[in-house]
Structure 1
Amino acid sequence: MTRWLTEAVPRGRVAAFRTLVYLFAAADLVFFTPWVRTRVDVPGELYQPLFLGRVLPLPTPTSALVGAIFWALLLLALLAATGRAHRLLGWSVFALYLEWMIIAMSYGKVDHDRFGLLVALAVLPTAGAARHGDPTRTEAGGWALRVTQIAVVCTYFLAAFAKFRFGGLDWATGSVLAKAIIRRGTDLADLIAGVPHLLLVAQFGLLAFELLSPAVFLLPERWRLATVGFFYSFHLVTFAAITISFAPHLVAMTSFLPLERVRPLRWARRLTGRRGPDPSGAGAPSDEPADPVPAAGQAPALGRPAGP
């Protein structure tokens, strides 16, 4: 089990995942959850903090507190995306984003699509230093990605248990999807709803999908990636039908992907015809491997001039 949990991955994958997660955390404040800042307009007695907010305990949100968290988190997340000071910046971003989520979810509605992202923010500070394009493997980074993957799968698996807990078997035979389509359905959803019994089949299929999601860890890498692609297609259809995006969850799910192969800076240099060191991180290696330095008394590599 320990070997599986700490399976080494390229540092370049950790660097790419780290950059993506922190950039999303910054974008989340501006595009997805800017409404959290309006919570200060709600009477304080309506603030019912989540369990963690009661245990710590955390103060009732005020305009000054929420504003300070917003600007500090935005700045620190952008700095953390560079990969520098990964422990200090990483723990700071995690603490501030956790408080941001506690404020957001303490007024009656809790979104479960944030679980994987929160776990990613919690473990990334332990992943160690990593540079984009670095093929060196790291067990610490592998552990951080594996724990995030487990959180992603738990989001699906535990969602099935929540359905059984609150709806029982009637959830699968009820009108859950029909109600969702009535509330926020699109033209695509209207077409789906017009097919007899299709919504009931979809509800049974959704339960099966969630209960079987842990099987992704048992698959060979090629089939695992194909299954993750199916997960993404599921959310694409969900968004197209009832406009639920699950964006934070989708970002956390990139922990399954070989992100080290995505090299936008390398592609940009190829398009512009430029060569040189990768500016994606301080001291990051060039895309071209360096020439080996011959040992004392050893001839230089064939085909290359023996320059000084």
Structure 2
Amino acid sequence: MRRLLARFDRAFFAEAPPERLALLRLLVGAFALVYLCARAVHLQRVGHLPPGSFKPIGVVSVLSAPLPLWAVRGLTGAAIAAGAAFVAGYRFRVAGPLFSALLLWVLSYRNSWGMVFHTENLLVLHVIALSLGAAADVYSLDARAARVSWERGAAPAPDGRYGWPIRLFCAITVTSYFIAGVTKLRNSGLDWATSDILRNYIAYDNVRKVALGDTHSPLGGALVRYRFLFPPLALGSLAMELGAPLALFSRRIAVVFCGAAWLFHLGVLLTMAILFPYPLLGVAFAGFFELEKVRDLRRPRRAGAIIEDRRA
């Protein structure tokens, strides 16, 4: 048992450079901030809905009645302000947890009025994970105050405190997909991969949208004519979801998982016109990659240019 715990400790708290965690903060924080700003009007509009439509979920369950409109607007504005501080890395020890709490509340409050946007869950959990770590030690306003000491050779070095938030980020990602796969098995069993369940679901979704005058997928409507296409697609999605935890143990498997999950969401968009922007933009999978190496892509070119200049 001790050996198992020791191996878990070494894996979960594996060293990582501070730049990787900071870049992850910038990517996820920027997405969350833009998302809040883009939906600000919609998030506040629930204040005009009939009180009888209020069905509190999650953390909002502490409420027995809707908040006044001024409180809804104030919390939305506060979430946007805290999001800006999160991205900028300004007083992150306070701004990080504050933003995660406000983001959780604001989105949960909106989802307490009918339709639940499950696409937001992974984003909120990722923000919470990053807010708990030292994600603003570099590439932040907080880091400016420490720049003098860094110039003397005390710059943050790779450390486990930069690694564990990234590992938690990745663990949350694979868990969300694994739960989706288990849910498919619980609801449909292996029939999900051997029957017309996926085909019928795509057909139903598009017919319903056409009837309601909503955006639908002409491609999905055309493909349901070809029955043989859907069992392999259903089996592939199930394998990707149930195999997701393996991505935590191998970088190669992680790359395969990220690619398969991205293709899955692309397929959902093309066949059902359902957009999952967070994974489709790749932000949801950013924790699996060495983000800090992106800046090194141009270095060989620069070195080559210097050599050529010297020869000339």
Structure-2-length-normalised TM-score: 0.75
CA contact (8 A) 2:85 2:92 kept: no
Q: Are 1:176 and 2:201 counterparts?
A: yes
Moved more, 119-128 or 73-82: 119-128
The AA in structure 1 aligned to 2:98 is S
Distance in 1, matches of 2:295 and 2:182, equals 39
The AA in structure 2 aligned to 1:150 is A
CA gap of 1:237–1:36, structure 2 versus 1, over 3 A, is: same
CA gap of 1:226–1:210, structure 2 versus 1, over 3 A, is: closer
Q: Are 1:157 and 2:163 counterparts?
A: no
Distance in 2, matches of 1:32 and 1:167, equals 35
Partner in structure 2 of residue 205 of structure 1: 236
Q: Are 1:261 and 2:293 counterparts?
A: yes
Deviations 1:56-92 (A, max 9, x none): 4486233212211221111221122112211111011
Deviation of the 1:160 alpha carbon: 2.0
Distance in 2, matches of 1:69 and 1:10, equals 34
Deviations 1:274-300 (A, max 9, x none): xxxxxxxxxxxxxxxxxxxxxxxxxxx
Q: Select which of 86, 96, 110 maps to 1:104.
A: 110
CA contact (8 A) 2:89 2:139 kept: no
CA gap of 1:195–1:160, structure 2 versus 1, over 3 A, is: same
Deviations 1:163-212 (A, max 9, x none): 34444555553222222343354233244323232124322332222112
Partner in structure 1 of residue 10 of structure 2: 3
1:137 is paired with a residue whose SS is coil
Q: Are 1:130 and 2:161 counterparts?
A: no
Q: Select which of 81, 87, 92 maps to 2:87.
A: 81
Q: Are 1:233 and 2:263 counterparts?
A: yes
Distance in 2, matches of 1:99 and 1:132, equals 27
Partner in structure 2 of residue 115 of structure 1: 121
Equivalences, count = 266
Distance in 1, matches of 2:65 and 2:13, equals 37
CA gap of 1:256–1:44, structure 2 versus 1, over 3 A, is: same
CA contact (8 A) 1:94 1:121 kept: yes
Moved more, 121-130 or 96-105: 121-130
Q: CA RMSD in A?
A: 2.9
Greater helix proportion: 2
Unaligned runs of 5+ in 1: 272-308
Deviation of the 1:21 alpha carbon: 1.4
Distance in 2, matches of 1:123 and 1:112, equals 18
Q: Are 1:243 and 2:268 counterparts?
A: no
CA contact (8 A) 2:240 2:260 kept: no
2:131 is paired with a residue whose SS is helix
The AA in structure 2 aligned to 1:61 is L
Structure-1-length-normalised TM-score: 0.76
1:105 is paired with a residue whose SS is helix
